[in-house]
Amino acid sequence: MKGNTMKKILILLMALLPMLGLQAKPNKQTVTFYVDLHCQGCCDKVMKHIAYEPGVKDIHCDLKTKTVRVTYDANKTDVPTLQKAFARIGKPATTTPPADARSGATKKEVDASSGASTPSH
């Protein structure tokens, strides 16, 4: 009887083993972050660091629109975690466009109208 019970347990374990190895299916999400990017070096810095965050599957940096589009596995990371990663490299990221972008004015136009000079990074 003892051997029969052991055999049943072994069969059950072998049947469950493949299920233990299964992980949740990737849950791909895409988010666009608005980041103060000044130059190609800023994009390179973002690409170098954010691309290696856990769960990041794809990243695209657009210097002209100052946006970074990140495709990630939502089972492994989320937007607040990614925002913390941007902050760690000195590039805070938001999911809403800055006020000057929402109004359609460029930063140079806003600065020119106010008489302020554009700071360099």
Residues 6+ apart with CB under 8 A from 77: 53, 54, 55, 56
Indicate the average pLDDT of the chain. 81
Q: Tens digits of per-residue pLDDT, 84-119?
A: 999 999 999 999 988 866 555 444 444 444 444 444
**Is 3.30.70.100 the CATH number for 28-114?**
yes
Query: What span, in angstroms and rounded, lies between the C-alpha atoms of 26 and 13?
Result: 26
What is the crossing angle of helices 79-88 and 40-50, to 10°? 130
Q: Which pTM was predicted?
A: 0.64
DSSP annotation of 116: P
Q: Which of the four pLDDT bands, split at 50, 70 and 90, describes residue 19? A: low
In sequence order, which ranges of 37-98 are alpha helices (DSSP H)?
40-50, 79-88
Q: Which residues contact residue 106 at a Cβ distance below 8 angstroms, ignoring those fewer than 6 apart?
A: 100
What are the structural domain ranges in the chain? 28-114
